[in-house]
Amino acid sequence: MLERVPLLEKDLDAYVEFAGQDAIDRIRALAEPLRGARILHVNATAYGGGVAELLATHVPLLKSLGIAAEWQVIHGSDEFFAVTKAVHNALQGADVEWTQEMARIYLEKVLDNALLLEGEWDYVVIHDPQPAAMLSLLTDSAVNRPDTKWIWRCHIDLTDANPEVWEFFRPYVERHDASVWTMPEFVPASLAMDRVVQAPPCIDPLSVKNLDLPTPFMNEICRQYGLDVDRPIMCQVSRYDPWKDPLGVIDAFRIVRESVPGAQLLLAGSMATDDPEGFHVWEQVDEARHGDRDIHLLSNIQQIGNVQINAFQRAADVIVQKSLREGFGLTVSEGLWKARPVVGGRCGGIVLQIRDGQDGYLVDSVEECAQRTIELLTNPERADEMGASGREQVRNNFLSTRELEDYLTLFGELAP
C-alpha cells in the first residue's frame, strides 16, 4: 500500500477563538451528512512544502468531524522527481522540452503507485501533477468504484503553462469529477470539466509555526542562529526554488542596506523530498551572498523547523516573498498573521493576500522590492499599522477553517 502519514489529533472547537462560533457551526452542519464518509488525500511528500502543511491540519480536522479521512504519499525515485520538477517548472511557464522518455518515466512510476492503492473510498483528492494520472491507470481496479468521487487539486500557477506539457496532463485531469484551483486565472481555457472550484489555501493558527511565542524565547532562537534582533531584519521564508527568486532578494537587500546600514537578510526554507533542484539553488544562493555575514542562509539541514520559522517571522521587521510565479505562497499569510508587513511579488496567489498599500506592498522588480522595504524599515509605525491590518485580512479569509468549509461544501455537492 502507499505510505500512510501519521497525524496528531486536532479539535475543531479549539478554532472558535480565531474563526468565530458561526464558522464552526457552519462547518459542523456541512459535515453532518458526511459523517462516516471515507476520504483519502494523496500527494508526493509528507514534509517540506505547502501541500504537506495544509494536509497536516486538514485531515485531522476532517477526522474530528467523524469523517474517516487519511493522507497517503506516493513512492518516488530520483528519476521520477526530476521529471515532476521539470513538469512543475513547465506548468509555471518555463521552457522545458517534454520527451517520450520523460512521459514513460512519469507513467511507469504512477502506475507502480496506482497498483499500491488499497481500500474503499468515497472521495479521493489527488494533489498536483505528481499523482495526476493515477485515476486513469486504475480502470480495472477495485479501488476505483463507480460511486467514488475523484478530485484534482492544483496548487500551482498555470497562467502561462507550457502547452505541450499541459496537453499531456489535461486528459488525466479531466477524468476527475472536479478540480480545485487557487484562482480562476490559473485554470487553462482548454480544460473541459463541469465542476471547477476556486478555494485558496489557508494557514493553521494553532500550528507550531503560527502559535504566539514569548518574546524572550523568540529572541533566543534568533540569537542562536546569528541574528541580532536589535538590528532591522528582512526575511524571506520559502523553498530554495528559482521561482521564489532568492537571488533577486539578495540584490534587493544590497540596495536596502545602502539606506539602512544595519540591516540583515535571512533566507530560510526547507528541502523537500520531491524537489531535487533545491540543493542546486541553495549552492547558487550561497555563492551569491559572497560570504556576507549579514546574509543568513538557513534550512532544515541546520535544524530549522516550524518553531524557528515562527520566531524568524515574528522577529522580522519586513517579510518578503518576491516570487516570480506563485501558486499561493502560504508564507505571506503566515507573515501577515504575525502582524508583520509583507512585500510580495505581484503574481499568483500573493495578490489575493496582500492588499497593496494596506497590508504591505506588491512589487514587480528588485528595485521596487528594495524601495518598499526601505519605506517600511524607516517608518516602523506605518509598518506596524500594515501588519495589524494584514492579521485581520488573514483572520477573515485565510484560516484553515475556511478551507475546511470549502472542501466540505464540495464533498456535499458531489455526494450521490
Per residue in 316-348, pLDDT (tens digit) is: 999 999 999 999 999 999 999 999 999 999 999
- What parts of the chain have a pLDDT lower than 50? none
Q: Are 371 and 347 in contact (CB under 8 A)?
A: no
| Cell, residue 111 | 502506475
Q: Are 272 and 171 in contact (CB under 8 A)?
A: no
Task: Classify residue 144 as left (phi > 0), alpha (psi -120 to 50) or beta.
Answer: beta
Fold category of 3-202+399-414 in CATH: Rossmann fold (3.40.50)
The angle that helices 78-91 and 100-116 make with each other, rounded to 10 degrees, is 110
Residues of the chain with CATH 3.40.50.2000: 3-202+399-414, 215-397
Q: What is the pTM of this model?
A: 0.94
pLDDT value of residue 63: 98
pLDDT value of residue 47: 82
* CATH class of this structure's domain 215-397: alpha beta
pLDDT tens figures, 368-378: 999 999 999 99
pLDDT value of residue 184: 96
DSSP labels for 173-237? HHTSSEEEES-GGGS-TT---S-EEE----B-TTSTTTS---HHHHHHHHHHTT--TTS-EEEEE
In the sheet with 149-153, reading across from the earlier edge strand, the strands are: 3-4, 68-73, 38-43, 123-127, 149-153, 178-181, 196-198
pLDDT value of residue 33: 98
pLDDT tens figures, 145-166: 889 999 999 999 999 999 999 9
